[in-house]
Amino acid sequence: MEMVVMVVLVLIVLVLIVIEVVVVVMVVLVGMEVVMVVLVMVVVMYIVVMVLRVTVVVVMVVVMVMEVVVVVIVVVIVMVVMVIKWGWW
């Protein structure tokens, strides 16, 4: 799960870098009128990246919580089975 998240993050970052390079090239080719648009795009992209990072952190936390919950459930089930099998004492 964590590996998948990391791979997705890397891919997203690579895509963003490519987009920024393309944008810079376009600015050089088209001229300076586009600079404001580019700045807005870059700001938006950084906001998106921040949101993605927060999302990834949330996902990691959720995964950890799920793992803990699963462990707790397994322990509870084992306890119940043992109690049913051998009684309280």
Q: Where are the domains of the chain?
A: 55-89
> 23, 38 in Cβ contact below 8 A?
yes
Instruction: Report the percent of the chain where pLDDT is more than 70.
Output: 88
Is 75's pLDDT higher than 90? yes
Is 33's pLDDT higher than 70? no
Q: What confidence category does residue 89 fall into, taking pLDDT thresholds of 50, 70 and 90?
A: low
Other CB atoms closer than 10 Å to residue 79's CB: what's the count?
10
Is 39's pLDDT higher than 70? yes
Q: What is the pLDDT, as a whole number, of residue 72?
A: 93
